[in-house]
Every structure is written in C-alpha cells, then in structure tokens.
Amino acid sequence: MKLPLAERMRPKELSDYLNQEHLIGENGIIQKMIENDVLASMIFWGSPGIGKTSLAELIALKSKREFYQLSAINSGVKEVREIIEKAKNTTLFSNTSPIVFIDEIHRFSKSQQDSLLQAVEKGYIVLIGATTENPSFEVISALLSRCQVYVLNPFSKESLEQLLKNAIQKDEVLQTKNINLKESDALLYFSGGDARKLLNNLEIVIETINQDEIVITNKITEKILHNSFAKYDKKGENHYDVISAFIKSVRGSSADASVYYLAQMLDAGEDIKFIARRLIILASEDIGLANPTALVIANNCFQAVQTIGMPEARIVLSQCTIYLATSPKSNSAYIAIDKALQYVRQNPNLEVPLHLRNAPTKLMKQLNYGKDYKYAHNYQGNFVKQNYLPEKVKDEVFYIPSDNAKEKSIQEYLNKIQNQ
C-alpha cells in the first residue's frame, strides 16, 4: 500500500528538519542532547502538522534508541503499563533507555499520566509527549516537573514553500511525474500552516490533474480543494477559524452565531475543557466589569463540564455561551492591565511611597516606612484621600470605566468619594 506523501517525506536527517533551529540547530538543546547521548524527558508543544512526531522519531533514530509510540486517543492505563514493561526489559539489555512517544498527551487522564511517573523518574524510559494545548493546563504538575517543555515554532511561508519543492524534487513517486508548480499561495492557504495537510493537499491536486504535464496554479488548486476542505478539523487550521468565530460572536453579542459555532466544535469532538477555558477568558476580557458575575458563571461552567462530561456538558456550555453573548460588554479591565504593564516595563523599579511600605522591623520604622499611612476604614465612607502611586506615575490613569450600567455606577462612586 502506498503511503501518503506526508509520511513519505518525514525527515531522516536533522538537516532536513525545517524551522526549529532553536532546538536542532548547531547550538540547539536537543542537538546537544543527541551529541552527548543524554536525553531528558520532554514535551513538544505546538500547532498541528508542525513536526512533533517527526522530531521524536528523528531523536530516536539519531540516538539509536528503541522507539515506542502510543496515541492518547486509543490507549489506556493498560497499554501504558505494557509499553513500560517492554521498555524496562529493553533497558536490561542496553545502557540506554528507550523512547516512549505519546501523541496528544493532553488527552491522557490523570490516572494515565500518573502511570508514567515512576518510569520517568527511575529512568526506565525517556518520555516524549506531544500536545497542541498548553501543557500547564493539561499535564499534571508531577509529570510536568519531570519534563522539559519545548515550544515548536510555526512554519514560515519560506519553510512551507521549501517543503513543497523538496517533495517534488525528492519524493520517489513525484520524481516520476512532470510537475510544474507555477503558484503555491492556494496550497499554503488551504494548509493553514500545517505541513502534513500541505503535503497531502499537494498529493490530492497532483493525482486529480493526472496529466502528462501537471501544471499547478492557484485557480486549479482552489477548484480541486474547495470541495475536499473539511468543515471542521480539530487537528487542523479550521479549528482556529471556528474558535476565532466563536469568540468574536460572543464578543459581538450574537447568541445565535455563538451557539452555532459551539455546535460545530462539539459535533467535531472538540475538547470541552478547551471551550470552557475560552469562555472564562471571554468573561474577563470582553465582559469584565460590565457584569462581574459572568466570570463566576464561566468558572462554574468549567467545573461543571469536568464533572459531568459529554453529552450533558453541551447544555452547560450552551447556557454559559448564551449568558456571555447576551451580557453587556466591557474590555476596561483588559485595557487597564495592558496599559499598566506597558508603563511598568517602560519605567521599571519606581519606588513605592514611604507611607505604603511594610515596616516589620524597628529600623524600617525609624526610616519612616509606613509613617503617615491613613487607614481608610477609620474615615467616613471608608475612604480617605492619599496618594497610592509612585511620585512619577501619580497622575496616570489606567482604568477608565466603560459606558455600561455597572461601570456607570462605578464611575459615580469614584466621583462621589473624590469630591467628598
């Protein structure tokens, strides 16, 4: 059976592996590990089709280690333990630990991840995990602390174009064909930065044209791939398009569009925790102080979907989505913190006013730390005028209330206490 082009083009040498020079370049950390034959357990974090599996296979090949592969989608604790036993037996007859590669490790449950701990800690295996999700959220802390996390860079346009050229010039099957790649923009567009999808789409176009001279243009590519373009691929580029549309629909207060894109994600099997996390972010970034209860609702939604799972979690997600979409909006907190961060970075290490400083020692009190501080609750309305900012920044305004009912009341309160 003929392998897909993307499989045939998996790199066999580190020099053929594109776009991750910070890891496998001359001074790259993984390059150094291989040269010194000392491998640490590691987790690769990056978007789909960026080469996580290929890099793991290359590391095994170049370090001359046994390579075992599991997919978190169809492997349980039983399969993990079986692989670990095989790895331990391998270690008995070798001085080097085998590599156990787990694709989509973020889909492993806590118990599945726990089953890896001892093998990693004792050095029976070198674990390499691959994830498209933030490991801080999806990998248990005990396992995360035993692994190095490496971020894989997205492919540049130049790297993707080089992949196309390499495939046409080096693949044994494509070498037999007369291929004229006149335009590649449409191929790049339909790949969405996913190298695997790019190569597979190239193969679809070539096989569809199937003439003595295969001329590839943007127009021909669009026509061929338009009907085969997946409506939603949680591993591919449309994943990002749909979640973007979902976020913008909630932000734009369209309950109908928000539920529609939620349904697309659920129907495609999207991770419900991923959706719930986005709702928490939306509750602060786009609703914020216009309706502080939104954050409580979103956080409760996250807890609920973890507890009950699908299919019932769809109702909780729908309720939260509609609540956020129909809530008044404000990004004042988002703007305030970004403005403050920018100011702090441009004006580092400004001194805290003396009256606000902590004074736990006699010397600090002698230096007037905390002197003249006014305790707000000792004053009418639990407020007293005093400066809280460093001298240089005392007149800066970071938080500006937005024009909504809740923040109008906040503005009225601020005006009242400032004028008393």
Name the residue ranges covered by the structural domains of the chain.
20-151, 157-226, 237-325, 349-419
Confidence band (pLDDT; 50, 70, 90) for 227? low
Read off the pTM. Answer: 0.58
Terminal Cα distance for the chain, rounded: 83
Tokens, residue 147:
């692994």
Task: DSSP letter for 68, please.
Answer: E
Class of domain 20-151: alpha beta
Is the pLDDT at 70 greater than 70? The verdict is yes
Confidence band (pLDDT; 50, 70, 90) for 393? confident
How high is the pLDDT of residue 289?
93
Tell me the mean pLDDT in the region 394-410.
88
The mean pLDDT value of the chain amounts to 87
Q: Residue 311: is the preceding peptide bond cis (ω within 30°)? A: yes
CATH code given to domain 237-325: 1.20.272.10
Tell me the mean pLDDT in the region 163-181.
91
Is the pLDDT at 239 greater than 80? The verdict is no
By three-state DSSP, how is residue 38 classified? coil
Is the pLDDT at 322 greater than 80? The verdict is yes
How high is the pLDDT of residue 362?
77
Is the pLDDT at 94 greater than 80? The verdict is no
CATH code given to domain 157-226: 1.10.8.60
Tell me the mean pLDDT in the region 397-414.
88
State what percent of residues in the chain have pLDDT above 70.
95
Give the whole-angstrom CA distance, residue 304 versus residue 296: 12
How high is the pLDDT of residue 126?
92
Contact, 346 vs 274, CB < 8 A? no
Is the pLDDT at 368 greater than 90? The verdict is no
Contact, 259 vs 240, CB < 8 A? no
What is the CB-side half-sphere exposure of residue 201 using CA atoms within 13 A? Answer: 33
What phi, psi does 89 have (nearest 5°)?
Answer: -65, -40
Tell me the mean pLDDT in the region 248-258.
93
How high is the pLDDT of residue 228?
54
Long-range contacts of 412-415 (CB under 8 A, 24+ apart): none
Rg (CA), the chain: 28
Is the pLDDT at 236 greater than 60? The verdict is no
Is the pLDDT at 302 greater than 90? The verdict is yes
The better pLDDT of the pair 304, 371 is held by 304
Sequence-ordered list of residues with C-beta below 8 angstroms from that of 391, at least 6 positions apart, any chain: 350, 351, 353
Contact, 144 vs 121, CB < 8 A? no
Tell me the mean pLDDT in the region 113-137.
88
Confidence band (pLDDT; 50, 70, 90) for 102? very high
Give the whole-angstrom CA distance, residue 381 versus residue 384: 8
How high is the pLDDT of residue 418?
78
Sequence-ordered list of residues with C-beta below 8 angstroms from that of 173, at least 6 positions apart, any chain: 2, 5, 8
Tell me the mean pLDDT in the region 84-95.
76
How high is the pLDDT of residue 355?
81
Give the whole-angstrom CA distance, residue 390 versus residue 306: 44
Confidence band (pLDDT; 50, 70, 90) for 232? low
How high is the pLDDT of residue 230?
47
